[in-house]
Structures are given as C-alpha cells and as structure tokens.
Amino acid sequence: MPTSNGKFTTLLSAVTATGAGTAINVPNEKIHTFSIIASSVTSGGTMVLQATDFAGNVCTLQSVTVSANGNTIYTFAGFFAAVNANLSARTDGTFTVNYAGSDGSRDR
C-alpha cells in the first residue's frame, strides 16, 4: 500500500466505473483533505471518502452525492492508518479524487 508523504496524491483518476481506489497509508498525518472533481455529470453518483483505523476497520468519513460538475473539498482531522475513495454508485460522469495529508504543523 502506498504511503502519503504529506503531498498531493490521486486516489481515483478520471474514473467512469464504480469501485474503490487503492488505499494509501497515512499514519503520520493529522489533517486529511480530499478534493472531489466531477465532470460530464448529468445525474452523477455517490463518492464515499473512507478511513481505516489502526485495528483495520474501514469507516466512512463522508458519503457525497455528486449531481453536478465541479470541485468540492472535504477536510477531516484525526489519526488514521489509511484513507481511500470509493465511487459506490454512478449514473454518469467522470470522477477524480485527490488527497493531501498534513501533520498539522506549519513547519513542514
């Protein structure tokens, strides 16, 4: 599983089918920012932003109904073992999810 290095990572890239991306390890990150980018959307789909705790349990941070083109940002605080994005339902559209993690300090 890839590891976040505090920089920008693409979790899903221009997907047009349902399914989860590859989870990335984020054990040293405290602030988690996800950017959902949607294009060619008429009806859209449902994007699920997920985290895995240190016991291996996957939980939903946010389930987002995307029904229009555009960019949406979600930020969460907490320590997780890994994060992922999952396009759980889709009628149409192309979806990209980018991730950036931070340890919460300004000295990075």
Give domain status of residue 104, yes or no. no
Give domain status of residue 27, yes or no. yes
Give domain status of residue 1, yes or no. no
Mean of the per-residue pLDDT values for the chain? Answer: 92
| Count of structural domains within the chain | 1
d(CA 65, CA 78): 23
Here the tokens at position 94 are 């192309």
Overall average pLDDT of the 43-72 stretch: 97
d(CA 12, CA 50): 13
Give domain status of residue 72, yes or no. yes
- Say which CATH number the domain at 26 has: 2.60.40
By residue range, what is the domain housing residue 53? 20-97
Give domain status of residue 2, yes or no. no
Overall average pLDDT of the 53-66 stretch: 97
Position 104 scores a pLDDT of 75
Percent of residues, the chain, with pLDDT higher than 90: 86
The upper half-sphere exposure of residue 93, i.e. CA atoms within 13 Å in the direction of its Cβ, equals: 24
Residue 32 has pLDDT above 60, yes or no: yes
- Give the position of tokens 């969460």: 76
Position 42 scores a pLDDT of 95
